[in-house]
Amino acid sequence: MSTDSRFAVFTNADYRLGVIIEPRSRKFSGAAAGSGRDMSTSLDEIIANFELLDDWDDRYRYLIELGKGLEPLPEEAHDDANKVRGCASQVWLQMRREGGPGPQTRLHFLGDSDAHIVRGLVALALAIYSGHSASDILATDAFAIYERLGLAAHLTPQRSNGVRAMIERIKSDARSASAASAA
């Protein structure tokens, strides 16, 4: 751990990753500033940290560390209603709405998985989507972000299918929230 309290250095056993990121309590800056949302790591930080890592073993370790930083999903939320279908590993996503019905409803997600790397992929999906409006979620192409990070080429077909299922579940929740105003 760094002596500077603004930074943390990820380590895995005796292997030092050399990635320095700001602590988990960092608030969003930019468009989300003032929203009061605390995120483990913002999407911009994840992208920047991924770009610092040349080796895929280091990137996988970083994904695992992101998963460890997820806000815990309550045990009662590990149920059939929150389970994501189409994932080889078990994945749960719990959604909470903020604001009235319609496309401007903000959706907040908590997630979990029984597999370490998949928990990291859940953390990445939540960094992309959680706390955004339903319309923004529907307009965001997470696959382009996964491609930019090189994940599309380095995930097994099973994990890629799981990522698709997770993203489709989030987008389905956003479509439902958007359609709520028409009902």
Pairing verdict, β 91-98 and 8-12: unpaired
Class of residue 167 by CB neighbours under 10 A (exposed 0-12, middle 13-18, buried 19+): buried
**91 φ, ψ (degrees, to nearest 5):** -135, 135
Catalytic (active-site) positions: 87
- Side-chain-side CA neighbours of 72 within 13 Å: the count stands at 3
How is residue 167 written in tokens? 């993203």
**141 φ, ψ (degrees, to nearest 5):** -100, 90
